[in-house]
Chain A
Amino acid sequence: MNEWCRKKPLEWQGYVNKEVKVTAAKQEYQGWVFTVDPVSANIVLVNFKDGGKASIVAVMGHAVEAVDVLREGDSSMADQLTSLFMPAGAQSYSREELKNRKNSLRDWLEKNRIPFTELGAQQETLCVAGVLTVTPPYGPEDCSSSNEIILSRVQSLIQSNPGCQQDQ
């Protein structure tokens, strides 16, 4: 195992959002670090090109000989990198918005006399009737259950919530 592979996850995380030059097998690869895989120590480098394209090079952890940091990225670069691989149309909600959506769903469930409990470290998951869970952002597609009938009933219920802002 080389020196790079022996680093700890917190050290690898320190390279994210930095522009680096990686030397591997006598070649040099330059780019913005999107991530370092903690399992294989592979470094994923991104280079943004003109014309709305991005070129990705991933250097395998076992091949890394040296990593030199060229410069730090700012928050806009961090956002660009993150949004690069997020599924198209993914919407991110602020903590406030998530709280509002959760409360809106809670009120709607109470109104419809549906029993539920709140689970999770920050009480972010709703467990409906002990058989269905709803995770943030509490849309119909965020329901999970092994019972098809209950799943479709709760999904249409959430869909028909008049209190929730209809987005997309």
Chain B
Amino acid sequence: MKTPVCVLRLPRGPDGTSRGFDPSSARYQALCPSTISASGPVDCVDLRSEQRARSFLRERYLRSLIAMVKRDVKFTMYEKVKVDAVFAGSDIDILNFQVEDLETPLGVQKEALIRCPDVICYSFEIDSNL
């Protein structure tokens, strides 16, 4: 296990106070829609089937996140950045991933937050218990 480096701090953002995770910043608002709107003409039956589809899909996604916890995950990010880390958790809007032992060219970060808009894809392996 590589020795962790001391905590790196991002430079302050343009507003002078935040370090890139401020939910009230203009960048954040632009990147992340705060509400999920339902489809156009709201027909009762259509809404029900849309909601059913939403919960079906969301439950499966949450289960995939649960399966990822404590596993090694490879994150492919923009600017040809590829890093390995141990997944710890996500926030509800899938905007930030909490990871441990993030391997960066500067060393291993014991705990880190990865911004999801910076990620292109992530991958991991599990046993298929078949």
Residues of A within 8 A of B (CB): 1, 8-10, 12-13, 16, 24-25, 27, 29, 34-40, 42, 44, 48-49, 52-60, 62-63, 80, 82-86, 88
A-B contacts counted at CB < 8 A amount to: 117
- Contacts A52-B129, A53-B128 given; does A10 touch B53 at CB 8 Å: yes
Partner of A8, one of B39, B64, B66: B39
A22, chain B: closest CB distance, angstroms: 9
In the bound complex, residues from chain B placing their C-beta under 8 Å from that of A85 are 60, 63-64, 66-67
The residue in chain B whose Cβ has the minimal distance to the Cβ of A14 is: B53
Chain B interface size, under 10 / 10 to 19 / 20 to 34 / 35 or more: 35 or more
**Cβ B126 vs Cβ A54 within 8 A:** yes
**Cβ A55 vs Cβ B123 within 8 A:** yes
B38, chain A: closest CB distance, angstroms: 9
- B21 on interface, CB distance cutoff 8 Å: no
B95, chain A: closest CB distance, angstroms: 8
In the bound complex, residues from chain A placing their C-beta under 8 Å from that of B68 are 56
Partner of B125, one of A29, A38, A44, A53: A53
The residue in chain B whose Cβ has the minimal distance to the Cβ of A36 is: B57
B residues 19-37 in Cβ contact with A at 8 Å: 31, 33, 36
**Bound CA span A107–B57, Å:** 37
Partner of B53, one of A12, A25, A44: A12
**Cβ B128 vs Cβ A16 within 8 A:** no
- Contacts A52-B128, A53-B125, A85-B63 given; does A62 touch B117 at CB 8 Å: yes
**Bound CA span A3–B119, Å:** 18
- B113 on interface, CB distance cutoff 8 Å: no
Known A-B contacts: A9-B53, A37-B58, A48-B128. Give 7 more (CB < 8 A): A8-B50, A9-B57, A35-B61, A38-B57, A49-B125, A54-B125, A84-B126
- Contacts A16-B57, A53-B127, A55-B125 given; does A27 touch B116 at CB 8 Å: no
**Cβ A56 vs Cβ B129 within 8 A:** no
Interchain residue pairs with CB less than 8 A apart (13): A10-B49, A12-B53, A24-B121, A42-B61, A53-B128, A54-B125, A55-B125, A56-B123, A57-B121, A60-B121, A84-B128, A84-B129, A85-B63
